[in-house]
Structure 1
Amino acid sequence: MNTKYIDLIDQTYFFPTEEFKLEDKTLHFHDIDLMELVEQYGSPLKFTYLPKISDNIQRAQRWFNDAFAKADYKAKYHYCYCTKSSHFKHVLDTALTNDIHLETSSAFDIDIIKSLKAEGKIKDDTYIISNGFKREKYIDNIADLINSGHKNCIPIIDNYEELDLLTNATYKQFKVGIRIASEEEPKFEFYTSRLGIGYKNILSFYKNQIQENKQVSLKMLHFFINTGIRDNAYYWNELHKCLKVYISLKKICPSLDSLNIGGGFPIKNSLAFEFDYEYMINEIVNQIKQVCDEADVDVPHIFTEFGSFTVGESGGAIYKVLYQKQQNDREKWNMINSSFITTLPDSWAISKRFIMLALNRWNEEYERVLLGGLTCDSDDYYNSEQNVNAIYLPKYHKDKPLYIGFFNTGAYQETIGGYGGIQHCLIPAPKHILIDRDENGAIQTRVFKEQQSSEQMLDILGY
């Protein structure tokens, strides 16, 4: 009978994959022996595999460049990293080695930009796309960047007052973009995004506030929908509505030359994940070109703002199963040595699912379980995989430690979880290590942050 955990994985998924394989009876991630990491650094453990960041950036750049060549698309592609996905310095330093630009969303983001400029990591011609609702400090920081000579700082206008605030805060000429308030999917909780300006109002906004303004030129139209880039009628319909606005503006605004299609590329949340990135990019490029050719206007430069796609697949978390609780005749709870609420907040806040695999004991029998965290909160659990609606792991045995890994967790989890701050039930943030490769491809690891201590927490709490 096929009752072993390895049999289950083989029957359920195409395994091994480009990221995962089994070697010496333990799970390897990008050829990294994860049990060796546990032996060296312990658990719970967070890790970031830095080469995956560059890999995904370069893949997207290649796909867009190939699509431009196929379509004879006479413009440029610019890859922007959406910093709110992960603000950590090791992420930005790695991403910026790949000829990219940055998208910001708040005032303190600009302080990061200034720090990176001081280190020579970005130049005055690096595009800084500033999104979000802009309060006084954000406006002032953007103005400081423009006044310092950063010619490619482009604030994206989110509401009718921002342009006046920006022109009052800076004495130089500058470029802006306008964000479209896209309509959401019919099943969504609201009809129109709170971000940006409505489709029908953009043309009049340009005529009233920008067209005759000697200090400001419109460079970019910004388009993004909450559900991301998907091959469905809703996405293509919203894209075409955006292109109609672009063409109407372009005919009266020569300085408009760029279309920002935002982010939203999905990342792998299951070993059964399928998404044809190349097809989607080819189709987006072709549709933009077709609409522009029919209207006899030049095609725009295309900007993207990939956040999760950039950094998500670089991250992972490792836990140990501490104990098993048989709560009734059907439910077995495997208790981990950390908390899902504190370390994988998306798993309970928005029911997000990640790739989850055992690290060891693949050749032993499996069982169906629920996973529970350490907090005294009923929401601190993980109960299903993306495509099988259940969790199966090697059978618990108190004398045979079982380790499990959650993968592609690199976007948002640390910032949403309040990294370095107070966690629910005072569960400490786990040790975080960085994994890189040297020029010869050899794996290098180092500790980014040790596990949070009680002294650090008590200091925050004022004790």
Structure 2
Amino acid sequence: MNTKYIDLIEQTFDFPQEEFKTENNKLFWHGINLMELTAEYGAPLKFTYLPKISENINKAKDWFQNAIDKHNYKGKYFYSYCTKSSHFKHILNEALKNDIHIETSSAFDIDIVNNLKKEDKIKDDTYVICNGFKRDQYIKNIGDLIESGHKNCVPIIDNYEELALLQNETKKKFKVGIRIASEEEPKFEFYTSRLGIGYKNIVSFYEREIAKNKQVDLKMLHFFINTGIKDNAYYWNELMKCLKVYINLKKVCPTLDSLNIGGGFPIKNSLAFEYDYEYMIDEIVNQINDACENAEVDVPNIYTEFGSFTVGESGAAIYEVLYQKKQNDRELWNMINSSFITTLPDSWAINKRFIMLPLNKWNLKYERVLLGGLTCDSDDYYNSEQHINGIYLPVYEKDKPLYIGFFNTGAYQESIGGFGGLQHCLIPHPKHLIIDRDENGELKIKLFKEQQKSSELLSILGY
């Protein structure tokens, strides 16, 4: 009978996979021996594998270029990175190696832009697309960036007052975009996104506020929906409504030349993950091309703002199973040496699931378990995977530690969890590594941040 953990995985999935394999019953990820990494640096441990960022950026660029060539599309494609997914310098440095642009969402983002400009990582012609609802400091920082001579700063107008506020901060001519307030899926608690301007009001807003405004050129129409880019009726319907607005706007606005379709590419959250990126890109380009050709208007340049797709699959976390508690006849709790609430907050806040696999003991029998975190909060647990209604791991042995890894955790988790700040129940934030490869393909490992110490937490608390 095939009862080993490796039998379960091989019978359930197509395994090994591009990034996962096992050798001697130990897990390798992108060629990294994770048990060796854990032996050297300990657990809990978080790390970022930088090459995956460039790999995903260039995959998307190639897919879009292939679609542009196939459909004889006359516009260009611009890849931008949504900085709120992860603001860390090592992330931006890696992403910006690939001739991309960025999208910002708050005042401090512009400070990051200025820092990167000083280091020549961002040029004056790099597109800085400024999204979000803009408070005074954000408006001021955008104005300062335009005043400094940054040619391709494009604030995206979110409401009727922002244009006048921006004009108060700079006397230079500048470009803007307008965000469409898209309609949400029927299951949402609200009908229309709080961000942007309604479909029916955009052309009249342009004619009233921008058409005769000699300081401002409308360059971009911005379209984004919360559920992301999916092959369903809702997405295609919203895209077609967006294209109608673009066409009507283009007919009265000669400077409009760009359509920003936002972010929303999913990332791998299960070994059974399937998503046809190439088909979706091909169909988006095709639909934009057809709609503009039928309306006899020029096609737009296409911009995307991929955040999770850029950085999500570069991140991982490792924990040690400290102890197993049998709470009743059916429930076995494997207690980890950290907290899900603090280190993987999306697993708690929005019930997000990540790829979870053991690092060792693939040759042992498996058992169904629940995973518990160290905080005293009843919600600090992880109890199922995307593909199955439960978690299966190699059997627990008290004298031989079991290590587990969560993969593709690189987007949002540090920001939402409050990297370097207070953690629930004062559970310290794990040690964090940055992993890269040199020109010969050899691993380069750098310690980015040690595990938090008591003194750091007490200082924040005022002790």
Residues 411-455 of structure 1 deviation map (CA, whole Å, 9 limit, x = unaligned)? 000000010000000000000001100000011111000000000
1:400 paired with 2:400, answer yes
Q: Counterpart amino acid of 1:250? A: K
Structure 2 match to 1:266: 266
3-state SS, counterpart of residue 190 of structure 1: coil
Structure 2 match to 1:336: 336
1:179 paired with 2:179, answer yes
What's the TM-score once normalised by structure 1's chain length?
1.00
Structure 2 match to 1:30: 30
2:434, 2:189 → 1: CA distance? 39
2:406, 2:62 → 1: CA distance? 29
Question: Which residues of structure 1 form unaligned runs of 5+?
Answer: none
Structure 2 match to 1:212: 212
2:37, 2:89 → 1: CA distance? 22
1:294 paired with 2:262, answer no
1:23, 1:397 → 2: CA distance? 21
3-state SS, counterpart of residue 357 of structure 1: strand
1:364, 1:140 → 2: CA distance? 60
3-state SS, counterpart of residue 289 of structure 2: helix
Residues 193-222 of structure 1 deviation map (CA, whole Å, 9 limit, x = unaligned)? 000000001011001110111100100000
1:399, 1:135 → 2: CA distance? 56
2:84, 2:134 → 1: CA distance? 15
Higher mean C-alpha displacement, 299-308 vs 23-32? 23-32
3-state SS, counterpart of residue 404 of structure 2: strand
1:383, 1:365 → 2: CA distance? 19
Structure 2 match to 1:127: 127
3-state SS, counterpart of residue 177 of structure 1: strand
Structure 1 match to 2:247: 247
1:420, 1:171 → 2: CA distance? 40
Please list, as runs of the form range in 1=range in 2, the aligned pairs for 1:290-329 lying within 5 A after superposition: 290-329=290-329
3-state SS, counterpart of residue 435 of structure 2: strand
Q: Counterpart amino acid of 1:148? A: S
2:135, 2:122 → 1: CA distance? 25
1:394, 1:453 → 2: CA distance? 32
Please list, as runs of the form range in 1=range in 2, the aligned pairs for 1:380-395 lying within 5 A after superposition: 380-395=380-395
Structure 2 match to 1:418: 418
Following superposition, the deviation at residue 154 of structure 1 comes to 0.1
Structure 1 match to 2:18: 18
Q: Counterpart amino acid of 2:73? A: Y
1:52 paired with 2:52, answer yes
Residues 74-96 of structure 1 deviation map (CA, whole Å, 9 limit, x = unaligned)? 11100000000000000000000
Following superposition, the deviation at residue 189 of structure 1 comes to 1.3
Structure 2 match to 1:75: 75
Q: Counterpart amino acid of 1:160? A: Y
Residues 312-356 of structure 1 deviation map (CA, whole Å, 9 limit, x = unaligned)? 000000000000000000000000000000000000100000000
1:25, 1:332 → 2: CA distance? 23
1:214, 1:444 → 2: CA distance? 52
Structure 2 match to 1:164: 164
Residues 296-321 of structure 1 deviation map (CA, whole Å, 9 limit, x = unaligned)? 00000000000000000000000000
3-state SS, counterpart of residue 244 of structure 2: helix
Residues 346-390 of structure 1 deviation map (CA, whole Å, 9 limit, x = unaligned)? 001000000000000000000000000000000000000011111
Structure 2 match to 1:97: 97
What's the TM-score once normalised by structure 2's chain length?
1.00
Structure 1 match to 2:154: 154
Report sequence identity in percent: 77
2:440, 2:326 → 1: CA distance? 49
Structure 1 match to 2:280: 280
Q: Counterpart amino acid of 1:137? A: Q
3-state SS, counterpart of residue 411 of structure 1: coil
Following superposition, the deviation at residue 400 of structure 1 comes to 1.2
Following superposition, the deviation at residue 24 of structure 1 comes to 2.3
1:235 paired with 2:235, answer yes
1:462, 1:389 → 2: CA distance? 44
Structure 1 match to 2:442: 442
Residues 257-312 of structure 1 deviation map (CA, whole Å, 9 limit, x = unaligned)? 00000000000000000000000000000000000000000000000000000000
1:59, 1:65 → 2: CA distance? 10
Structure 2 match to 1:256: 256
